[in-house]
Amino acid sequence: MTTTTYVKHEVKDLSLAKQGQQRIQWAGREMPVLRQIQDRFAQEKPLAGIRLVACCHVTTETAHLAIALKQAGADALLIASNPLSTQDDVAASLVADYGISVFALRGEDNETYYRHVQTALDHKPNIIIDDGSDVVATLIQERQHQLSDVIGTTEETTTGIVRLKAMLKDGVLTFPAMNVNDADTKHFFDNRYGTGQSTLDGIIRATNILLAGKNIVVAGYGWCGKGTALRARGMGANVIVTEIDAIKSLEAVMDGFRVLPMDLAAPQGDIFITVTGNKHVIRQEHFEVMKDGAIVCNSGHFDIEIDLKSLKSLASDVRTVRPFTEEYRLHSGKSVVVLGEGRLVNLAAAEGHPSAVMDMSFANQAMACEYLVKNKGKLAPGIHSIPRDVDEDIARLKLQAMGIAIDTLTPDQVEYTNSWTSGS
Ligand SMILES: NC(=O)c1ccc[n+]([C@@H]2O[C@H](COP(=O)([O-])OP(=O)(O)OC[C@H]3O[C@@H](n4cnc5c(N)ncnc54)[C@H](O)[C@@H]3O)[C@@H](O)[C@H]2O)c1
């Protein structure tokens, strides 16, 4: 009898590995940029000897990032950045087929989630890839003695960057943090087109409702909000935007959307989507005036945008009517439907962003890790942009892979754009 020894892990069921591997391979078809980086990493081993922790949504796309990091020579350990986004078959395959340690279970409770954060820190990381900044925040609060091991962190999402800025302001961020979110090849595409499409995908999978003709209220007109509003309109919905920023509101108006405060949007909406990164954007006074059967969901990073506590206080009964779909029956006789427990609906009820956008986001992640190691000891503590040439290289590789050629400046144009003497 032979027994297989696996790397350290806590996943739901290793027998799901075969299905996971098939799905990982399928996603890879749309990830040519990361594949090229992975091939180079396999040759050059830029992360040799580096202990690396990645706290990401454990999806088919993240699998490709983890594989690339391992090929680069890193001793990588992966944990879930969200209790509802883990794809258990992918987690199984990473352990069984690729020898990568994963600690992630779909539906894990908060206690398990934070236990996994501790497991990640027990790995004594030199580099932390974070998504929402929970690992970095825990490290700083609870493991000061490990700070000297850390070369740096890379942050995937807007909310994580907001937290890193707060850490910097409080003087506790003692290592460099690469701002992957703000790379153009990340947020222009991932936040906008990725969140836009996958959020609607999550709503449709959870409810199977027709979007055409519905009033969809999008809270927040940042990158995710713009993509969500654009795609909802494309499906024939009447989109209402709510904002707190005057410039973004104006942009939404001129993009052709109705802009209203949430108080006025609440009675009109059929479906509400929050993408603000802020807390309690939909709260008691809004639930009270919503239409019977209104659907609310969130695609912002944390499950704080919808005040579920106040909704529970208004409800006499909560029942699950479909997977990821809960109906709150209110004392008033009306009902409000919540998708994915108010967590990222695109990851809870669908599969997260399509691979083609994660290709660029994770290309930035992989390049940011290499950059941190190459510049070890040279980068000041604080938040650093992804170098412009890396961003442009990723865009170029993506265009190349899509078979799209673009123009280059002629020498005459270079001279013209560099001179100030020739006017009208
Ligand atoms: N679902 C996903 O897969 C996914 C992907 C990327 C980012 N995110 C998350 O989505 C959230 C938004 O990201 P983004 O890149 O669009 O950020 P952003 O900063 O570009 O946009 C957020 C917008 O929300 C607005 N806002 C803040 N408070 C508000 C309130 N009370 N009411 C209405 N609007 C308000 C802000 O003015 C801003 O325009 C973040 O939490 C981010 O981490 C999720």
- Provide the CB-side half-sphere exposure for 266 (13 A, CA): 15
How far apart (Å, rounded) are the C-alpha atoms in residues 219 and 202?
Answer: 17
In this prediction the pTM is 0.92
* CA 282 to ligand 1 centroid distance, Å: 14
- Residue 302 CA: nearest ligand 1 atom is 41
Chain CA centroid to CA 68, Å: 19
Radius of gyration of the chain (CA): 22
The protein residue whose alpha carbon is closest to atom 1 in ligand 1 is 299
Q: Give residue 354's pLDDT.
A: 95
* CA 381 to ligand 1 centroid distance, Å: 26
Q: Give residue 73's pLDDT.
A: 98
* CA 300 to ligand 1 centroid distance, Å: 6
* CA 418 to ligand 1 centroid distance, Å: 37
* Of 101, 157, 102, the residue nearest 129 (C-alpha): 157
The protein residue whose alpha carbon is closest to atom 20 in ligand 1 is 222
Angle at CA 347, nearest 5°, toward 343 and 350? Answer: 120
**Which of 61, 181, 276, 339 has most ligand 1 atoms within 8 Å of CB, for mutation?**
276
* CA 224 to ligand 1 centroid distance, Å: 6
- Residue 57 CA: nearest ligand 1 atom is 3
The protein residue whose alpha carbon is closest to atom 11 in ligand 1 is 300
Q: Give residue 259's pLDDT.
A: 98
Residue type, 71: Q
**Which of 59, 62, 158 has most ligand 1 atoms within 8 Å of CB, for mutation?**
158
Q: Cβ < 6 Å from ligand 1: which residues?
A: 157-159, 187, 191, 195, 219-225, 242-245, 248, 275-278, 281, 299-301, 344, 346, 353
**Which of 58, 84, 156, 157 has most ligand 1 atoms within 8 Å of CB, for mutation?**
157
* CA 416 to ligand 1 centroid distance, Å: 39
60-71 helix and 355-374 helix, angle to the nearest 10 degrees = 30
Q: What are phi and psi of 369, to 5 degrees?
A: -65, -45
Q: In what side-by-side order are the strands of the sheet with 315-322?
A: 258-259, 238-242, 215-219, 271-274, 294-298, 335-339, 325-330, 315-322
How far apart (Å, rounded) are the C-alpha atoms in residues 285 and 91?
Answer: 41
**Which of 155, 191, 264, 344 has most ligand 1 atoms within 8 Å of CB, for mutation?**
191
Q: Give residue 392's pLDDT.
A: 96
- Residue 224 CA: nearest ligand 1 atom is 16
* Of 159, 252, 389, the residue nearest 167 (C-alpha): 159
Answer positive or negative: Cα dihedral of 192, 352, 231, 292. negative
Tell which phi-psi region holds residue 261, choosing left (phi > 0), alpha (psi between -120 and 50) or beta: beta
* CA 261 to ligand 1 centroid distance, Å: 16
**Which of 59, 253, 275 has most ligand 1 atoms within 8 Å of CB, for mutation?**
275
- Residue 199 CA: nearest ligand 1 atom is 1
* CA 156 to ligand 1 centroid distance, Å: 13
In angstroms, how far is the first alpha carbon of the chain from the final one?
A: 84
Tens digit of pLDDT at every position of the chain (424 positions): 567 899 999 999 999 999 999 999 999 999 999 999 999 999 999 999 999 999 999 999 999 999 999 999 999 999 999 988 899 999 999 999 999 999 999 999 999 999 999 999 999 999 999 999 999 999 999 999 999 999 999 999 999 999 999 999 999 999 999 999 999 999 999 999 999 999 999 999 999 999 999 999 999 999 999 999 999 999 999 999 999 999 999 999 999 999 999 999 999 999 999 999 999 999 999 999 999 999 999 999 999 999 999 999 999 999 999 999 999 999 999 999 999 999 999 999 999 999 999 999 999 999 999 999 999 999 999 999 999 999 999 999 999 999 999 999 999 999 999 998 877 6
* CA 95 to ligand 1 centroid distance, Å: 33
Question: Which string of DSSP letters, residue by residue, matches 321-362?
Answer: EETTEEEEEETTS-EEEEEGGGSBHHHHTS--S-HHHHHHHH
* CA 237 to ligand 1 centroid distance, Å: 21
Strand runs labelled E in 132-286: 152-155, 176-179, 215-219, 238-242, 258-259, 271-274
169 is written with which tokens? 């302001």
